[in-house]
Amino acid sequence: MQRLRSSDATFGAAFAAVVNDRRESDAGVANDVAAIIAEVRARGDEALAEYTARFDGHLLAGENWRISAEECREAFDALAPDLRAALELAAQRIRTYHEAQLPEDRDHIDAVGVRLGAKWRAVDGAGLYVPGGRAAYPSSLLMNAIPAKVAGVERLVVTTPTPKGLVNPLVLAAAHLAGVDEVWRVGGAQAVAALAYGTQRIAPVDVITGPGNAWVAEAKRQLFGVVGIDMVAGPSEILVIADGANEPQWIAADLLSQAEHDPLAQAILITDDAAFADAVEAAVQSEIALLPTAAVAKASWDAHGVIIVVESLDEAPALANALAAEHVEIATSDPEALFADIRHAGSVFLGRHTPEAIGDYVAGPNHVLPTGRRARFASGLSVLDFMKRTSFIAVSEASIGAIGPAAIALAEAEGLAAHARSIELRLGI
């Protein structure tokens, strides 16, 4: 764990190193993924079966390629009542929040009589990648599937690895609750390739979303353009801006809520109170000892954890904007004052009683967020990731007379005679 002070002469260089620490995949991963994509594109199901046997220790044959809707319903029905209620509450709040994101069509006639507008339509099919193993999270399935359904996607396909043939029943229950149409027992970069290009069994989709490991993220990056993607996600991040009036144990737990995801995750604290920084650092060690995920959380904190002590919290927004973190907590007496200057963040959590973890499950906004400083130009997953906008124009005989000559002039200036002529003919020129 690094400890930095903004007043130190070396702070600028040390902070720049933190900002530029990408913690993402290397060229070896890119080469491996390119080979996997090529094999799936060329050999389809045969390649999927080989990769699944090699990486998941599971043989795909006959009916076991898919998990049926009935199996998903049974998993949901088998949930303990309190857990079923928790999933239903999360789904309801996620759905309500995302319904408010639905865009409106536009249709109007301007001052010269030209009809202009746009229609929003959902993509035909969306693929959701749901990790297996350490990162098998039903919450992520809800966060990806519900916006797609709200958008109006007709075919919603889940691919998920099932190591040794085992599947997380909570994931199946979430798939039932969200209304997923197909669930396939394939994972890794090969699943992303199958969703993009299609195989003999799996029909291609138009958009692929969902978290995954470095190979999954790289496959999405390489296949962008063949399909749409939500984003190229890297390891999780949290930045906590906190004053000394907080409970150190709370802030320590908040930092570890992301550190426990991945040894490459990053947790950063900015505070103006050096004694509070000491207390949080000690509380992190105490909290780690209590966690079943202690090994992962400790590896992340030791390698990538950072505590920054500033002279004043007025410095924090500029540092936060440089980091452009996935999650930003502002645990101060007046969070709005700092929030007003936060320009780059995936999602912001305001006040001492708003831990990032509440946003992961039941708050409503999406927890699929840009990482690796991509919050400078990207947003969290929304219904718009599953929709596209088609503009339309209707020009009357009178209105082409009003705007056509300008279009002719521009076409001639660009040397595009056919463009100009298509308008000239209508104007009788």
* Active site residues per annotation: 326-327
For 102, how many CA atoms within 13 A lie in the half-sphere containing its CB?
A: 15
* Side chain identity, residue 80: A
Q: CB burial class (10 A; 0-12, 13-18, 19+) of residue 5?
A: middle
Residue with tokens 């780690």: 288
Contact call for residues 240 and 329 (beta carbons, < 8 A):
yes
- Cα separation, 287 vs 155, in Å, equals 43
The token pair at 60 is: 């795909």
**Residue 59: exposed, middle, or buried by beta-carbon count in 10 A (0-12, 13-18, 19+)?**
exposed
d(CA 183, CA 358) in angstroms, rounded, equals 28
Using CA atoms, how far apart are residues 365 and 367, in angstroms rounded to an integer? Answer: 7
The angle at the Cα of 70, spanning 49 to 171, to the nearest 5 degrees, equals: 65
* Reduced DSSP (H G I as helix, E B as strand, rest coil) percent helix, strand, coil of the chain, to 5: 50, 15, 35
Q: How far apart are CA 254 and CA 358, in angstroms?
A: 10
Nearest-angstrom CA–CA distance, 38 and 53: 18
